[in-house]
Amino acid sequence: MHADYWDIFASGHDAQSLWFGYQLAHGLVQRGYAARLFTDQLDVLAAAVADLDPTCWIQSHHGIEIADWRLAELCVVAPTAIQVLGTTIPAVYLARMEAGPTPTRCVEVVAHDADRDATTPLVMLEQRGSCTRMRAQFGDPPFKAGHIKSRPNATTLRKLWTKPAMREGLFQALGLRSDLADGKLSVFFDVRNKRSMLSLVEALATGPREVCVFMDKRPPDWASSYPEDRSTVMRHGAVTLVELPARRWFLTDELIWASDLVMTTEGDIAARACESGTPILWSSDDGAFFDWYVMKSPPVIRRTVSEMFDALATGADAKWAWTCYMTRWEEMRALSELVALRVKRAPDLIDVLIAALSGTSEEAMERQFSPTVPGEELV
């Protein structure tokens, strides 16, 4: 196996793992490396990206070799394997990495909260035979390994048009009326926590501002509460609720960029919103993400964002949290722009991994990730 060949393992049972894994593979290919993406649900990936056959166990897609997870037990192991967000690597594959005659590396890519006290972007975990086990964590340098950034395969609407024109073109692509969000705060609502979904929608409906909510599915109790509303667009209080059709990842990206606010319980959606500069409200389960997002913010901003994060997690006090949040809306927009700037300035996680793993000596690795003198990729 060529030294520039990487294997990436991502699970279709976890949407954020699959999205991050695909972006990593795409990034490697763009940098001239060969990448093979193993997943246990090709059908989920085929629904998310175009030109992929869900029935074909191994195929090439925009330069990425995509294979069914079960084939990993039969394939030659790569010098470097990446395990995305806890995705399981087949035991047979790992055993061959450990027993091989040449050194191999297995890198576990983890979220913000997995190791909050890390002092280096790439943490050495253990040595098993020929295989060195490592961990790389999302976050800002010099103590974290950067961010996995989106890499669209095609020119996106936002690169061609102004935001209003992009929004109109996006609505047409989704089969929606172009005037749906006129004069309203547009919210991309990807909350999959049934406890909080209905409470949040009701909070928006009684809130201080007209809101257009884009969501994949109505709240579970909505049909029984409002049985006369059967269309994909419906009105309830201050909310115009729009049910979105099934779509691919690139249209979700455009929707995030076109929205004024993103509410989500999904890690990949949160990461994409941070990169876009769109204000983001995520579940409070990830305390490290919250600390990273509101870094150096005044106490009142931290408290206001924290209350909305709690509302997404539990649905408790959603109306009060939403009212407080909207009173500081301009400050929230400014915060999201600062977050986007931090993401832009931080290295791409794949560049950090390439820089760290391209050398062979421990001395070279130590120089690259010294906490006091970080390498160029980390500043």
Q: Quickly state the pLDDT bin for 117 (edges 50, 70, 90).
A: low
Is residue 188 within 8 Å of residue 263, measured between CB atoms?
A: yes
* 106 and 172 share one domain: no
Give the count of domains, the chain.
2
Q: Which two tokens stand for residue 198?
A: 């209905």
Q: What is the pLDDT of residue 76?
A: 92
Nearest-angstrom CA–CA distance, 273 and 175: 23
At 51-74, the pLDDT tens digits run: 999 999 999 999 999 999 999 999
Rounded percentage of the chain residues whose pLDDT exceeds 70: 84
Is residue 232 within 8 Å of residue 242, measured between CB atoms?
A: yes
* 215 and 329 share one domain: yes
Nearest-angstrom CA–CA distance, 105 and 103: 7
Q: Quickly state the pLDDT bin for 228 (edges 50, 70, 90).
A: very low
State yes or no: pLDDT of 377 exceeds 70: no
* 113 and 192 share one domain: no
* 179 and 107 share one domain: no
Q: What is the pLDDT of residue 236?
A: 84
Which residues, 6 or more positions from 38, have their beta carbon under 8 angstroms from its beta carbon?
A: 7, 8, 9, 10, 67, 68, 69, 71, 72
Is residue 346 within 8 Å of residue 112, measured between CB atoms?
A: no
* 226 and 273 share one domain: yes
Asked, for residue 152, whether it belongs to a domain, the answer is: no
* 112 and 36 share one domain: yes
Rounded percentage of the chain residues whose pLDDT exceeds 90: 47
Asked, for residue 366, whether it belongs to a domain, the answer is: yes
User: What average pLDDT does the structure give for the chain?
Assistant: 84
At 318-345, the pLDDT tens digits run: 999 999 999 999 999 999 999 999 999 9
Nearest-angstrom CA–CA distance, 22 and 15: 11
Residue scoring higher pLDDT (201 or 158): 201
- CATH code of 355's domain: 3.40.50
At 26-46, the pLDDT tens digits run: 999 999 999 999 999 899 999
Asked, for residue 15, whether it belongs to a domain, the answer is: yes
Q: What is the pLDDT of residue 156?
A: 56
Q: What is the pLDDT of residue 342?
A: 92
* 101 and 118 share one domain: yes
Residue scoring higher pLDDT (132 or 12): 132
* 43 and 73 share one domain: yes
At 234-274, the pLDDT tens digits run: 888 899 888 888 888 888 888 898 899 999 988 889 999 99
Is residue 344 within 8 Å of residue 146, measured between CB atoms?
A: no
Q: What SS3 class is residue 62? A: coil
* 225 and 136 share one domain: no
* 319 and 368 share one domain: no
Q: Quickly state the pLDDT bin for 370 (edges 50, 70, 90).
A: very low
Please report the DSSP string for 198-264 in residue order: HHHHHHHHTSSS-EEEEESS--TTHHHHSTT--SSEEEETTEEEEEPPP--HHHHHHHHHH-SEEEE
State yes or no: pLDDT of 369 exceeds 50: no
* 372 and 335 share one domain: no
State yes or no: pLDDT of 1 exceeds 50: no
At 143-168, the pLDDT tens digits run: 888 898 887 654 555 555 667 777 77
Nearest-angstrom CA–CA distance, 356 and 375: 10
Q: What SS3 class is residue 251? A: helix
Domain containing residue 120: 5-147+346-378
State yes or no: pLDDT of 346 exceeds 80: yes
Asked, for residue 241, whether it belongs to a domain, the answer is: yes
Residue tagged 């300035």 (tokens): 345
* 36 and 61 share one domain: yes
State yes or no: pLDDT of 24 exceeds 60: yes
Is residue 37 within 8 Å of residue 67, measured between CB atoms?
A: yes
